[in-house]
Amino acid sequence: MTTIDDGGPAFPTNAVTDGFGRLEKLPHPGMSLRVYFAGQALVGILSHPQWDGTRDGLAEGCLKCADALIARLRAETAWMEELLRTRSEQP
């Protein structure tokens, strides 16, 4: 089985609230770049007035867009690779 490159965290943070407005220092990875990019593709596709595809096809297409974008970023930008590696190593 091939591991899918999710691009690492999209909006990582170390500060979360405890529900009472107090901040606690806890690692929170946020959503993956893959999920974020797929969501952006979803918005773009659904905003097109002539879209008439299926939900399954839509989901697959959005994930393919996200995977292609991550692969392109990995291939063309060394700084992105370093940034994602650094973020994934954070506790």
- Over the stretch 48-60, which tens digit does the pLDDT of each residue have? 877 777 777 888 8
Closest residue by Cα to residue 31 from 63, 7, 9, 13: 9
Say how far apart CA 88 and CA 41 lie, in whole Å: 24
| Weakly modelled stretches of the chain, pLDDT under 50 | none
Question: Residue 59: what pLDDT?
Answer: 87
